[in-house]
Chain A
């Protein structure tokens, strides 16, 4: 019942080529930088995993985290709502040269598709995108005089997330707005891997304060003082480090 694993390398060791991976975070807030960098480290050492489909709100910023994953050529397709950022060059160049596919999803539809995936609901109707280019080809139905677009659930093989406290059963709390997509991604992935800033004994987290119940979590790994994507970018960081 102890869901701890000792290292970030071990936590991402089973992600295969071609996997669909949900990655938590909205911009740098909640981005599991150490898990992403461990995945890149594995790819640099072994050539795997590659041809990944990555689901996140954005498509990376600068040259760390998801941007670094894309820069290494590990990502075949991005599913996101807003593939722009302060420094979106890595994704932009690969997209414009046809090296990476993009499925653009309105932000609330992205969130609800993920929630539906975790809740066992294969499709739902939403007013969002009705009459726009992003609804092309999707079934439309009228309910109580208003038109709604049918959207499908979104599931993943793995979710890589960051949380604040995690007990050995996988119960999680988050720090401020860093939770964003994490609680719903934890539900929607077949295997949910979480880096926690502090791993604690069961009973340490007040059950009233648990945000993600451990049933949705498979693996936790402690990463004390995790890197913050925004701070890394302000320092001009690259992963792996560029040597002159």
Chain B
């Protein structure tokens, strides 16, 4: 079955970020969204450890380890960047000042519940800023493969893994579709043109609803 690559999912998510938006990208896969800002638009990226307005990684050997992102990777600054302490950083998060937060997911429920921090009681638990980021941003979007590595749906009626937040996700960009979460329902907005609605429903663990036309999800090779 054809599906979008991670880079293509990130590209699609990047198309919805407006010029001047303040954006937090989760560690790992979501960081890729920054590469695909449409020409003419400039977002300001926030990282939890206390930087607004950071750019790409420095060249190897040019790292300054006092200048890192939440994933502890070296970053560079863009003109107009700002530093701030951790309480201010999370005031930006919880206080409704970010336009978009984009996160990864283990499971997303039709209610907007998100599970993305723990796969269960084994090992050392670690949460970081995930539980804060799902509250306060004007839009909380998830980017994810549509199914798990074993083929199980990641969009479900109720999450089975420990929750990161309740009723917090507003849009999901998957390898097969773009789905909004509205009023406790999954509303299909875009799907790969090669897939039928029924084929998509078969790999989705909760009922897909229609509310207006469904667009073709067409993403360039990136």
Binding site for B on A (CB under 8 A): 26-30, 57, 81-86, 88, 91-92, 95-96, 102, 104-112, 114-115, 126-134, 174-184, 211, 228-231
Determine whether the beta carbon of B49 is less than 8 Å from that of A29. Answer: yes
Determine whether the beta carbon of B94 is less than 8 Å from that of A128. Answer: yes
Determine whether the beta carbon of A109 is less than 8 Å from that of B124. Answer: no
Contacts across chains A and B counted by CB atoms under 8 Å = 146
A184 CA to B123 CA in the complex, in Å? 30
**Cβ of B162: which chain A residues have Cβ within 8 Å of it?**
132-133
**Cβ of A83: which chain B residues have Cβ within 8 Å of it?**
124-126
Inter-chain pairs besides A104-B127, A130-B166, 11 sampled, C-beta below 8 Å: A26-B68, A26-B72, A26-B86, A27-B68, A91-B124, A107-B127, A108-B94, A111-B86, A178-B66, A183-B87, A184-B86
A211 CA to B84 CA in the complex, in Å? 9
A132 contact from B49, B93, B131, Cβ within 8 A? B131
A105 CA to B129 CA in the complex, in Å? 9
**What are 29 A-B pairs at a CB distance below 8 A?**
A28-B65, A28-B68, A28-B72, A29-B66, A30-B66, A81-B128, A102-B124, A102-B125, A104-B127, A108-B86, A111-B86, A111-B87, A128-B94, A130-B165, A133-B118, A133-B163, A176-B51, A177-B50, A178-B66, A179-B50, A179-B83, A179-B84, A181-B86, A183-B85, A184-B85, A228-B66, A230-B63, A230-B72, A231-B65
**Cβ of B125: which chain A residues have Cβ within 8 Å of it?**
83, 102, 104
Determine whether the beta carbon of B90 is less than 8 Å from that of A111. Answer: yes
Binding site for A on B (CB under 8 A): 48-51, 63-68, 72, 83-87, 89-90, 93-94, 113, 118, 123-132, 135-136, 162-166
Determine whether the beta carbon of B51 is less than 8 Å from that of A177. Answer: yes
Determine whether the beta carbon of A180 is less than 8 Å from that of B124. Answer: no
**Cβ of B48: which chain A residues have Cβ within 8 Å of it?**
107-108
Determine whether the beta carbon of A127 is less than 8 Å from that of B85. Answer: no
Determine whether the beta carbon of A132 is less than 8 Å from that of B165. Answer: yes
Task: From known contacts A114-B87, A177-B68, A228-B65, infer whether A88 and B93 are also in contact, taking CB-CB under 8 Å.
Answer: no
Task: From known contacts A128-B132, A176-B64, A231-B65, infer whether A108 and B85 are also in contact, taking CB-CB under 8 Å.
Answer: no
CB distance from A144 to the nearest CB of B (A): 13
Task: From known contacts A104-B126, A104-B127, A126-B94, infer whether A112 and B67 are also in contact, taking CB-CB under 8 Å.
Answer: no
CB distance from B176 to the nearest CB of A (A): 28
Determine whether the beta carbon of B87 is less than 8 Å from that of A184. Answer: yes
